[in-house]
Amino acid sequence: MPTPKIEIIGMPLDLGADRRGVDMGPDALRNDGLMAALHALGLEVEDGGDVPLPPRPTEVNGRPNLKFFNEIVSACLALKERVRDTLQAGRFPLVLGGDHSIAMGTLAGLSVRHRKLGLLWVDAHGDFNTDETTLTGNIHGMSFAAALGIGNADLIASMAQPSAATPATSVLVGARDLDPLEKINLKNSGVTVFTMHEIDALGMHAVMERALKIVTAGTESVHLSFDLDAIDPNDAPGVGFPLKGGITFREARLIMEMAAACGKLGSLEVVELNPILDRQNMTGKLAIDLIATALGKQLL
C-alpha cells in the first residue's frame, strides 16, 4: 500500500518537563534537513507548521502534582484537532515534539478516527505515573498512562475522547528508568513492557517481533511514539533526560525498519529532542534518519 501524503505537525511544548530546550526540537529537525530527507524517498510531504501555543507562563502554576495542567491540556486539545484533521484529509501525521506530554493530544486525535489502535511506545522512561505516584508533578511522566485512560480523572477527561488504544494493544520498549510506584502501575495495567533487560537477553529483533504481534493484533492502525531518550546518549546526547545504557543507533533503526514493514504504521511521533544539549546536531540528524526509515528508507 503506498504511503499517503505526510503532514508534519510541529508541537513545541516544553511545559510537561522541568528542563527547557525541547520546544526547539521541531525547528531543529526542519533546519537539519527533514524535508529534504523525506523528499529524497519520493514522498509527498507538507509542513503544516507548528501548533500555536499561548505565551509561556512566567512561573509554575497548576496543582503541585499536575504542573501547568491548564496550559498542557489546552495545547494537547489543539494538537488533537490538527491530528484529527490530518487523518480526515487522508494524510499521515508526523508529529514533532516537544516533550512527551504531547502524546495525549496525538492519541486523542487518532482516537477520533480509529476504533482500535495499536500503540508502540519507545522510551527510556515509563511515562506511567499518575498524580498520586509522581515524584515531580511533570505531566510528561504521566502521558502514556493518561493516553490509555489511567490516572487522574480530570487529566483523562480533558481530552474529551476515549482512547482507541488499550493496554492490551500497547507495548513499551526500551525502559530503563522507572519510578518505584510507576513499576506497580505498569505491572497492574496490562501493558506489555520490554525493558533493556529483555532487549539485552533476547535481542531487538525478537523483542520487536513480539511487540509488533501485540500492537497489530486486531487493530486498524499502529501509532509509534518515539522518545529519543530511549537511545544511549553516546549516540543521542541531545535529549531532555539523557541516561546511559540505552538502545544503540542500530537497534533504534531496526525498530523503525520493522515498524515500516509491519504494514499498519499509520502515524509517528518523535519527541524530546533538545538542541541545546546536542553535539554538532548529531541527535537531530539521527532522528531524521530514524523518521525516514520508518517512512520507507532502506539500506538496499
* Tens digits of pLDDT across the chain (300 residues): 457 899 999 999 999 998 889 999 999 999 999 999 999 999 999 999 999 998 888 888 878 999 999 999 999 999 999 999 999 999 999 999 999 999 999 999 999 999 999 999 999 999 999 999 999 999 999 999 999 999 999 999 999 999 999 999 999 999 999 999 999 999 999 999 999 999 999 999 999 999 999 999 999 999 999 999 999 999 999 998 899 999 999 999 999 999 999 999 999 999 999 999 999 999 999 999 999 999 999 998
**In the annotation, is 50 catalytic?**
no
**In the annotation, is 179 catalytic?**
no
- The pLDDT of residue 59 is 86
**In the annotation, is 227 catalytic?**
yes
Who's near 255: CB < 8 A, 6+ residues apart? 122, 173, 204, 208, 226, 247
The catalytic residue among 32, 50, 99, 229 is 229
- The pLDDT of residue 19 is 82
- The pLDDT of residue 276 is 95
Handedness of CA 16, 283, 258, 8 (dihedral sign): positive
In contact, 172 and 121? CB cutoff 8 Å: yes
Q: Is 187 exposed, middle or buried (0-12, 13-18, 19+ CB in 10 A)?
A: exposed
The catalytic residue among 23, 123, 232, 251 is 123
Residue 120, helix vs strand vs coil: strand
The catalytic residue among 23, 50, 127, 131 is 127
The catalytic residue among 23, 50, 114, 140 is 140
> Distance between alpha carbon 279 and the CA centroid of its chain, in Å?
22
Specify the pTM: 0.97
**In the annotation, is 229 catalytic?**
yes
Domain coordinates in residue numbering, the chain = 6-294
Of the candidate CATH numbers 3.40.190.10, 3.40.50.150, 3.40.50.1220, 3.40.800.10, the domain formed by 6-294 belongs to 3.40.800.10
**In the annotation, is 39 catalytic?**
no
- The pLDDT of residue 168 is 98
**In the annotation, is 235 catalytic?**
no
- The pLDDT of residue 138 is 96
